[in-house]
Structure 1
Amino acid sequence: MLPGLEIQGFTPPLSLKDFRLIAFDMDSTLINIECVDEIADAVGRKEEVAAITEAAMRGEIADYKESLRRRVALLKGVTVADMERIYTERLQLNPGAERLVQACKAAGLKVLLVSGGFTFFTDRIRDKLGIDFTRSNVLEIRSGPNCGELTGRMVDQPWGDICDGAEKRKMLLETCAQLGISPQQAIAMGDGANDLPMMGEAGLSVAYHAKPKVREQAMVAINAGGLDRLLEVVR
């Protein structure tokens, strides 16, 4: 028994060398905050936005894209300087994040970050941890008068409009294809309902301090301690 860990569907330990890719959600998984909620705090709307986020992460909102559009609309007027302060003053890597990423890279795994959050933060986390692939959403920033303010909209990207659960799954599968590996050689870690589609494709699914629905479906649930507790299961 490993206190604070739930395991189903296999007998540990597994070998890290059996895997070639690890995919992480960002908000509340790789980092300690929900960025959209903290951005909303800058315009006094954190409570309103956080309630939508919580419902979406629990799987109580069927249309994730629409829920994100609603939340982003409430961010209108937030400045880039506000977001910079959130990054420097509030955002931290969750415990064990660096150790787990380093261990995976040392074992030859590539690292993917897929997020329903925003490139403003995922690009910085990518650079900080040396992550190989990312997919997330782009916040539209006003140019001209009031430049440097959010418009309350997102920018469409070549792959589509919003990184939701379906897009996370698609990016995991595309990355596996690019690497010439099977999805069974991938590990996927997340905490919310929008992580379940990619977790369902991976050879090993890991819930980190997750919502009940996600814990129930994951092969490993880390309910106490840091991300690096996965290394007690996969060595």
Structure 2
Amino acid sequence: MKLAVFDFDSTLMDGETINLLAKAYGREAEVSAITKEAMEGKLDFYHSLKKRVATLKGMSLGDVHSVCSKLVYNKGAKEIIEFLKERDYKVVVFSGGFDEGVSAGKEALGYDMHFSNTLHHANGILTGSVGGEMMFSYSKGRMLEKIQQLLGVSYEDTIAVGDGANDLSMFYHSAKKVAFCAKEKLRSAANIVIDTKDLSLIKKYI
């Protein structure tokens, strides 16, 4: 058995779920300001995530589902997942984003399993709190290591694909480290770099 792990936002999906939700709720400027703080190193992933989700307090869960039902996926996303599954890869998604978006992605793209965060809600309204399996910058690497142990998959038989700094922890546990249209911090740690927005280009490295 082999294992392929993908990030979701800006890797399989074209864009960031939190930004799309914020735009739909009229909080786009606030979220952009927090993201800028994070990129400048003033906030780590955990605190940035909590601050951004707090801006969504009061948004209806129905509106969240509506946004997530219209997500646009990157070229080649479904194709590369089908290609990998035909070659005995288990395809798993790790996302610092939210279950509502990643679940919609599973239906659209057909990956095997996903791990993400959950937007807390009460009576159909977001409370502005978030929890889950992908809250920290090291979460993806830790989860990848656990899945490798559970399935008996080696480092050599693992491929990880991402675009951002919080995908770096996956690279420590995967022989094929794919930076997809990625930020410089991830590019410098990758051994496969794809700068064209087409995930099917990964095929030639499998």
1:107-186 equivalent positions in 2, closer than 5 A: 107-143=87-123, 148-155=124-131, 157=132, 162-186=134-158
Where does residue 216 of structure 1 map in the other structure? 188
Percent identical across equivalent pairs? 36
- The two structures, once aligned, show a CA RMSD in angstroms of 1.8
Query: Deviations 1:59-78 (Å, cap 9, x if unpaired)?
Result: 73552111100111111011
Q: Counterpart amino acid of 2:188? A: E
- Contact kept, 8 Å, 2:163 with 2:179, in 1: the verdict is yes
Which of the residues 138, 160, 170 maps onto 1:198? 170
TM-score, length basis structure 2: 0.92
Helix, strand or coil at the partner of 1:201: coil
Change (3 A) 1:45 1:123: same
Which of the residues 20, 34, 50 maps onto 2:2? 20
- Once the two structures are TM-superposed, the CA of residue 37 in structure 1 deviates from its matched residue by 1.0
Helix, strand or coil at the partner of 1:135: strand
Helix, strand or coil at the partner of 1:165: coil
Higher-Rg structure is 1
Unaligned runs of 5+ in 1: 1-18
Unaligned runs of 5+ in 2: none
Query: Deviations 1:64-120 (Å, cap 9, x if unpaired)?
Result: 11110011111101112222231233x111100011000000000001100000001
Where does residue 28 of structure 2 map in the other structure? 46
Higher RCO, 1 vs 2 (CA within 8 Å, ≥6 residues apart): 1
Q: Counterpart amino acid of 2:54? A: A
Distance in 1 separating the partners of 2:24 and 2:202: 35
Distance in 2 separating the partners of 1:127 and 1:85: 15
- Contact kept, 8 Å, 2:56 with 2:128, in 1: the verdict is yes
Higher normalized strand content (fraction of residues) = 2
Q: Counterpart amino acid of 2:121? A: I
Change (3 A) 1:131 1:54: farther
